[in-house]
């Protein structure tokens, strides 16, 4: 297995979801603690606590029919300063079978000054599978004066249901194109997040979120900026705010139905 690559498989066994395959090579680590409910959990981590220039982490995940799984991170993904513009790369592929319910809820990416980071996420879902996917980024180590001080952040996410592509999102923040912290770019925001809901088990919660968003008044002094838009069988939420804590609370509040979906709270460790 190539350095930084991993394989993870969830299978339904005796009415519960179990991790039946978990392999990873340095610097990638996979942690699979046993949960109390019928879902299974896996956390990704890296030796050294972050990614350095030249690191490539690639994880392939298979969620079998009828499984319920949570994929998260042990902590925020720290991306250290690049050497000579060499990027750190993360790739995630997740394939979900009929009736699978998958929640991908990592901690945010935090890029240090001078970092170069590239991310690609690909989700292929059976028509009967459901997915909640969160992807978010902080401005960096603000307490150290590193606010949007990285060199480049580039990410792309693709979601296909059956043979139909239903979602593609790409973001590029490049200091070569001007100050990332400029008013017309990230401005006063120090954290930005995306949440995607799609699949049969998410249709009702997605519709409720769209109705809620439409009913919200426009407040010029609101500290959070958010939007909601429909997807076939789901919804897309976007949010930006002044702190990681504020954005995190907002996301968990909007996704308060997730613990009931999983039979356990994926954010129980967060006070």
Strands 40-46 and 28-31, by their bridges, are: antiparallel
Mean pLDDT value across residues 11-21 = 94
pLDDT at res. 271: 47
Name every residue whose Cβ is closer than 8 Å to that of residue 35 and which is 6 or more positions away in sequence. 41, 264
Average pLDDT in the chain: 94
Alpha-carbon distance of 110 to 242, in angstroms, equals 15
Question: Is 270's pLDDT higher than 70?
Answer: no
Mean pLDDT value across residues 96-103 = 98
- Kindly report the pTM of this predicted structure: 0.94
How many helices (DSSP H) and strands (DSSP E) are in the chain? 3, 17
Q: Where are the domains of the chain?
A: 5-185
Q: Which pLDDT tens digit goes with each residue over 175-193?
A: 999 999 999 999 899 999 9
pLDDT at res. 269: 67
Strands 40-46 and 56-63, by their bridges, are: unpaired
Question: Is 232's pLDDT higher than 90?
Answer: yes
Alpha-carbon distance of 219 to 75, in angstroms, equals 33
pLDDT at res. 141: 94
Classify residue 252 by its DSSP letter. H
Indicate the helix (H) or strand (E) that contains 206: helix 203-215
Percent of the chain with pLDDT over 70: 99
pLDDT at res. 12: 95
Question: Is 36's pLDDT higher than 80?
Answer: no
């Amino acid at each position: 297995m190539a350095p930084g690559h991993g394989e993870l498989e969830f299978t339904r066994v005796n009415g519960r979801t179990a991790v039946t395959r978990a392999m990873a090579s340095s610097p990638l680590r996979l942690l699979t603690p046993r949960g109390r409910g019928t879902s299974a959990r896996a956390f990704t981590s890296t030796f050294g606590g972050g990614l350095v220039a030249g690191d490539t982490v690639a994880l392939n995940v298979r969620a079998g029919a009828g499984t319920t799984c949570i994929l998260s991170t042990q902590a925020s993904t720290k991306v250290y300063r690049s050497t000579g513009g060499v990027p750190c790369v993360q790739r995630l592929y997740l394939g979900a079978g009929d009736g699978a319910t998958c929640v991908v809820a990592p901690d945010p990416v935090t890029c240090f000054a001078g970092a170069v980071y590239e991310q690609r996420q690909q989700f292929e879902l059976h028509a009967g599978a459901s997915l909640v996917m969160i992807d978010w980024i902080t401005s960096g180590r603000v307490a150290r004066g590193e606010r949007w001080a990285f060199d480049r952040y580039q990410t792309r996410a693709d979601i296909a249901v059956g043979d139909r592509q239903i979602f593609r999102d790409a973001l590029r923040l490049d200091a070569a194109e001007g100050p990332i912290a400029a008013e017309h770019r990230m401005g006063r925001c120090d954290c930005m997040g995306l949440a995607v809901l799609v699949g049969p088990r998410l249709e009702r919660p997605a519709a409720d979120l769209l109705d809620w968003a439409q009913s919200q008044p426009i407040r010029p002094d609101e500290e959070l900026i958010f939007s909601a838009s429909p997807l076939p069988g789901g919804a897309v939420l976007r949010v930006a705010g002044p702190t990681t804590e504020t954005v995190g609370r907002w996301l968990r509040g909007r996704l308060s139905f997730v613990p009931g979906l999983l039979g356990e709270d994926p954010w129980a460790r967060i006070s």
